[in-house]
Amino acid sequence: GAGVSQSPSNKVTEKGKDVELRCDPISGHTALYWYRQRLGQGLEFLIYFQGNSAPDKSGLPSDRFSAERTGESVSTLTIQRTQQEDSAVYLCASSLVWGRGELFFGEGSRLTVL
């Protein structure tokens, strides 16, 4: 596609439910990132995929968070047993090659946990 696509754009869920967020990066981009942005705060790194290498999961806040990526295509971020503090905008970004600084961001998925 022309840009990074994320779905859903908005998700309201009840505490304790699982949610799955999807990211479709720009075709040909080998690197894919997930970030979280809480209201009024900066971007918080969650996880990074580079080609077929093992992902860098160092930013995942707890074992309730996991992410998968199939090859160099779609990625899904799963949050199990959601908590109210998980409420945030989850942004996905991709870049053409490893080491390039220019990230292209999706519009984000706004998650609200009631």
Partner 1 sequence: EDKVVQSPLSLVVHEGDTVTLNCSYEVTNFRSLLWYKQEKKAPTFLFMLTSSGIEKKSGRLSSILDKKELSSILNITATQTGDSAIYLCAVESMSGSARQLTFGSGTQLTVLP
Q: Based on CB atoms, which residue is closest to partner 1, 71 or 99?
A: 99
The CB-of-81 to partner 1 minimum distance in angstroms stands at 26
For residues 86 and 19, give the distance between their C-alpha atoms in angstroms, rounded to a whole number. Answer: 11
The CB-of-75 to partner 1 minimum distance in angstroms stands at 16
Q: Is residue 112 within 8 Å of 13, Cβ to Cβ?
A: yes
- How distant, in Å, are the alpha carbons of 43, 56, 65, 93 from that of 102? 15, 19, 26, 10
The CB-of-52 to partner 1 minimum distance in angstroms stands at 14
Q: Based on CB atoms, which residue is closest to partner 1, 9 or 16?
A: 9
Q: Based on CB atoms, which residue is closest to partner 1, 4 or 21?
A: 4
Contacting residues toward partner 1, per CB under 8 A: 4, 31, 33, 35, 41-45, 48, 50, 56, 58, 89, 91, 98-99, 101-108, 110
Q: Look up tokens 């990211």; give the residue.
A: 23
Q: How many CB atoms lie within 10 A of CB 61?
A: 12
